[in-house]
Amino acid sequence: MAHEKNPDPLREFHPHNHDHCVSDAMAAAERICASSGARLTPVRRRVLEILLEGHRPMGAYDVLGRLDEEGLGDKPPVAYRALGFLVDHGLAHRIERLNAFIACPHPEAEGHGAAFLICRGCGTVAEVTATLPDLPEGFRVERTTVEAEGLCAACTEKAA
Amino acid sequence: MAHEKNPDPLREFHPHNHDHCVSDAMAAAERICASSGARLTPVRRRVLEILLEGHRPMGAYDVLGRLDEEGLGDKPPVAYRALGFLVDHGLAHRIERLNAFIACPHPEAEGHGAAFLICRGCGTVAEVTATLPDLPEGFRVERTTVEAEGLCAACTEKAA
DNA sequence: AGAGGCAATGTTATCTTGTAACAAAATTGG
DNA sequence: CCAATTTTGTTACAAGATAACATTGCCTCT
């Protein structure tokens, strides 16, 4: 078999075949856009690749810098629009604590409540699924932001 | 007895005696600072009052505007420093999705995981306690951000 | 009281992040 | 092909946040 259905939820914190992540996620993005009719235009596709290759949260202006190097645009709305598209379609997430964006490693599994583990040592962010516990009744939740900052295993050891 | 230990967790969304919230929270803040040796200086105290009176998330510049009206300062660091102090001491919280700050209604109950319900209809924010579900092992969580955006009961009715 | 140290404030300037608004081009659907 | 819609290009700014350094006030020790 080619790869597991449910890989290590913290693989972001370990060495792993990252090209694999990139190609898998790009293929998933193509499928998602094809089936929903959304248009994965060149800039949008490239921004997704940049996020995937970066493999860490990137600010909108970091992304814009990359686009500029490649002649794909140098004005803020270029980056913000592409990032907005990716977030709207579940292909990327915004990390509120960091004012940054990260590619979604498994966009086809969406609908789940995503949560993010942010290592303050190495800056790595892992996306995990975490259903919120019961909140009080009488409030209709539409979207959640769940982010946990702390230390990954490797950085915990280094700090000890 | 003067008041309940555990009032309606969603009281933010209902009419309630708000002066009561303010005086209770200010008294709690005084106690917390006194016992920890932190100094609740005039600007810090006034910023906390402003947040409590506003009773909703306020941007740093909203707060600064109020301070300016009162001759307490007109430069960004004045507001950011006071807000930073309040957040560090658990007297206020930062709402990441809104780039805004809100007073903590029950600062003496801290240590809990706070979560915020943000109504996109009326802009009201309620703080509730919510313990995060089990995240994967191997990551030491130090701080969490849990924010849920949606509609409160009143705004849900209005929209129907 | 005076001196030294530290916490808090005052101020300047700048940096980062994000968006409104409108014109031009490309794509889609009839 | 034409019209409608979406996407892109661009200008200009709004909003949010902090670095750095000077100054003031507060506490403590002798």
Instruction: Report yes or no: B115 and A133 within 8 Å, Cβ to Cβ.
Output: no
Q: How confident is the model at residue B9 (pLDDT cuts 50, 70, 90)?
A: confident
Binding residues of A: 119, 122, 152, 155
Tokens standing for residue A121: 């040592």
Among B136, B143, B146, whose Cβ lies nearest the Cβ of A10? B136
Give the pLDDT confidence of B30-58 residue by residue, as tens digits.
999 999 999 999 999 999 999 999 999 99
Calpha distance B51→B111 (Å, rounded) = 21
List the single range of A133-147, B115-129, B141-155 with lowest mean pLDDT.
Answer: A133-147
Give the pLDDT confidence of B84-112 residue by residue, as tens digits.
999 999 999 999 999 999 999 989 876 66
Q: How confident is the model at residue A3 (pLDDT cuts 50, 70, 90)?
A: very low
pLDDT score of B4: 46
Tell if the CB–CB gap between A133 and B136 is shorter than 8 Å: no
**Is the predicted pLDDT of residue B2 greater than 60, yes or no?**
no
pLDDT score of A2: 44
- The mean per-residue pLDDT over the stretch B140-147 comes to 94
**Is the predicted pLDDT of residue B134 greater than 80, yes or no?**
no
Q: How confident is the model at residue A4 (pLDDT cuts 50, 70, 90)?
A: very low
From edge to edge, which strands make up the β-sheet containing B125-129?
Answer: A125-129, A114-119, A139-152, B139-152, B114-119, B125-129
Give the pLDDT confidence of A40-93 residue by residue, as tens digits.
999 999 999 999 999 999 999 999 999 999 999 999 999 999 999 999 999 999
- The mean per-residue pLDDT over the stretch B122-148 comes to 88
Tell if the CB–CB gap between B142 and A156 is shorter than 8 Å: no
Tell if the CB–CB gap between B146 and A145 is shorter than 8 Å: yes
Question: Would you kindly state where each structural domain of chain B is located, as residue ranges?
Answer: 14-159
Give one DSSP letter per residue of A66-94, joined into a string. HHHHTTS--SHHHHHHHHHHHHHTTSEEE
Residues with CB under 7 A from strand C: A 37, 39, 59-62, 75-77, 80, 99; B 38-39, 41-44, 72-73, 75-78, 81-82, 85
- CB contacts < 8 A, A to B, total 118
Question: Nearest nucleotide (C1') to the CA of residue B37?
Answer: C7
Is the CA virtual torsion B67, B72, B75, B77 positive or negative?
negative
Q: Classify B9 as helix, strand or coil.
A: coil
Question: Nearest nucleotide (C1') to the CA of residue A85?
Answer: D7
Among A96, A128, A143, whose Cβ lies nearest the Cβ of B135? A128
CATH (residue range B14-159): 1.10.10.10
DSSP, res A9: T
List the single range of A5-14, A69-78, A87-96, A134-143 with lowest mean pLDDT.
Answer: A5-14
pLDDT score of B1: 44
Any chain A CB within 8 A of the CB of B160?
no
pLDDT score of B12: 86
Among A120, A141, A148, whose Cβ lies nearest the Cβ of B132? A148
pLDDT score of B110: 66
CA distance B71 to chain A (A): 32
- Give phi and psi for B103, each to the nearest 5: -70, 145
CA distance B155 to chain A (A): 9
Calpha distance B8→A64 (Å, rounded) = 46
Structural fold of domain A16-132+143-159? Arc Repressor Mutant, subunit A (1.10.10)
**Is the predicted pLDDT of residue A11 greater than 60, yes or no?**
yes
B113: exposed, middle or buried (Cβ count in 10 Å: 0-12, 13-18, 19+): middle
pLDDT score of B6: 55
- Phi/psi-derived region of residue A98, left when phi > 0, alpha when psi is between -120 and 50, beta in every other case: alpha
More confident residue, A21 or A79: A79
Please report which helix (H) or strand (E) contains residue B54, including its range. Answer: helix B42-54
Give the pLDDT confidence of B58-90 residue by residue, as tens digits.
999 999 999 999 999 999 999 999 999 999 999
Residue count (chain A): 160
Packing angle, helices A18-36 and A42-54, rounded to 10: 150
**Is the predicted pLDDT of residue A126 greater than 50, yes or no?**
yes
For residue A9, give the nearest of B136, B132, B142, B139 by alpha carbon.
B136
Instruction: Report yes or no: A91 and A32 within 8 Å, Cβ to Cβ.
Output: yes
pLDDT score of A15: 84
More confident residue, A141 or A113: A141
pTM of the predicted protein model: 0.93
pLDDT score of A13: 83
Q: How many alpha carbons lie under 13 Å from residue A140 in its C-beta half-sphere?
A: 11
CA distance A153 to chain B (A): 5
Binding residues of A for Zn(2+): 119, 122, 152, 155
Of all residues in chain A, the one with the smallest CA distance to B138 is: A153
